[in-house]
Structure 1
Amino acid sequence: MHKLYSNPHLFFVEHMQNILAIEGIETQIKNKFLGGASGDVPVFETWPELWLVNPEQLAKATSVIKKSENETGDDWFCPVCKESNAGSFEICWHCQTVKPDTSP
């Protein structure tokens, strides 16, 4: 197995696991409950880690992670309620209108 990703917050590790699962990439999370040992063991060793199950998917998994980490986009304004939304939002946080497609 190959370690793909690590973060001090389990939420982000689980989010990355979900993104990879959508692409058909199987992973396992290690150190899920080791955070309580911080102080007794080095802190970086207690971070949750995402490990790849199938080594043949390493290139694809690395590519998906890299793309996901860089995917924020520009902020946008909702065409319905005119509320400002972060570029990473696919729907308006205020009125739940789907982000308009701005691709050429």
Structure 2
Amino acid sequence: MLKLTQAPNIAIATLWADWLTSVGIEACVQRMYASGIAGEIPPDQSLPEVWITDEHRLHDARRMLHELQHPLERRWVCQACKELIEGPFEQCWNCGANMPGP
């Protein structure tokens, strides 16, 4: 196993590990409960960590994690209801119409 990254909390670490596993990179969370001893060890050593099992997929895992942490920003107008949509969304929040194709 190989350490991929530290996460700010258990929820984020679990989200990242589950997402990586769902795209074919087996991942798990280590140090899930180390925050309970944060006063006895340095704070940076008590953060949860995401580990992957296949060291050959490290580059892919880092790239995919970066894409998850930095979603593509979009700005488009829904053709159905004329609502302005901003952010990484591909569907109109107002009417549910899909973003127009390229």
TM score, norm. by length of structure 1: 0.75
Q: 1:42 to 1:76 in 2, by over 3 A?
A: farther
Q: 1:39 to 1:73 in 2, by over 3 A?
A: same
Q: 1:34 to 1:92 in 2, by over 3 A?
A: farther
Larger radius of gyration: 2
Deviation at 1:30, TM superposition (A): 0.5
Contact kept in structure 2, 1:76 and 1:87, CA below 8 Å: no
Q: 1:43 to 1:60 in 2, by over 3 A?
A: same
- Larger strand fraction of residues: 2
Q: 1:101 to 1:21 in 2, by over 3 A?
A: farther
Q: 1:43 to 1:101 in 2, by over 3 A?
A: farther
Deviation at 1:75, TM superposition (A): 5.2
Partner of 1:25: 25
Deviation at 1:17, TM superposition (A): 1.1
TM score, norm. by length of structure 2: 0.76
Contact kept in structure 2, 1:76 and 1:86, CA below 8 Å: yes
Q: 1:13 to 1:80 in 2, by over 3 A?
A: farther
What residue ranges of structure 2 are gaps of 5+ in the alignment?
Answer: none
Partner of 1:63: 63
Partner of 2:6: 6
Q: Percent identity between the aligned chains?
A: 27
